[in-house]
Structure 1
Amino acid sequence: MAAIRERLGARSIVLVGLMGAGKSSVGRRLAQRLGLPFLDADVEIERAAGMSIPDIFAAHGEAHFRDGERRVVARLLGEGPQVLATGGGAYMNEETRRRIAERGVCIWLKAELDVLMRRVRKRQNRPLLSTPDPEATMRRLMDERYPVYALADLVILSRDVPHEAVVEDILDCLSRHLAGRAEAAQ
Structure 2
Amino acid sequence: MKNNIFLTGFMGCGKTTVGRVLAQRLGWSFVDLDQVIVDRAGASIKEIFASEGEQAFRAFESAALVEVASRPSQVVSTGGGAVIASENRAAMRASGRIVNLTASVETIAARVTGDSERPLLAADASVERISSMLEGRERFYADADLRIDTTGKTVEAVASEVLDSLKGFL
**Higher mean displacement: 56-65 or 137-146:** 137-146
Please name the residue that 1:117 is paired with.
109
- Is contact 2:21–2:159 with CA below 8 Å preserved after alignment? yes
Q: How many residues align?
A: 170
Q: Which amino acid aligns with 1:165?
A: A
Please name the residue that 1:51 is paired with.
43
Question: Runs of 4 or more off by more than 3 Å in structure 1?
Answer: none
**Higher mean displacement: 56-65 or 136-145:** 136-145
Deviation at 1:123, TM superposition (A): 1.9
Deviation at 1:42, TM superposition (A): 0.3
- Is contact 1:131–1:137 with CA below 8 Å preserved after alignment? no
Q: Which amino acid aligns with 2:43?
A: M
Counterparts of 2:152 and 2:54, CA distance in 1: 30
1:138 pairs with 2:168: no
Q: TM-score, normalised by structure 2?
A: 0.95
**Higher mean displacement: 55-64 or 119-128:** 119-128
Q: Percent identity?
A: 37
Segments of structure 2 that go 5 or more residues without pairing to the other structure are none
Q: TM-score, normalised by structure 1?
A: 0.87
CA deviation map 1:117-140 (0-9, x unaligned): 111115221100022463322111
Output the aligned Cα RMSD: 1.4
Q: Which amino acid aligns with 1:101?
A: R
Q: Which amino acid aligns with 2:137?
A: R
If each structure's helix is expressed as a fraction of its own residues, which one has the higher value? 1
Q: State the structure with more CA Rg.
A: 1
Alignment of 1:83-98 (within 5 A): 83-98=75-90
Segments of structure 1 that go 5 or more residues without pairing to the other structure are 1-8, 180-186
Counterparts of 2:139 and 2:147, CA distance in 1: 12
1:172 pairs with 2:164: yes
**Selected match of 2:59 from 55, 58, 67:** 67
CA deviation map 1:35-87 (0-9, x unaligned): 10000000000000000000000000000000100100111001222000000
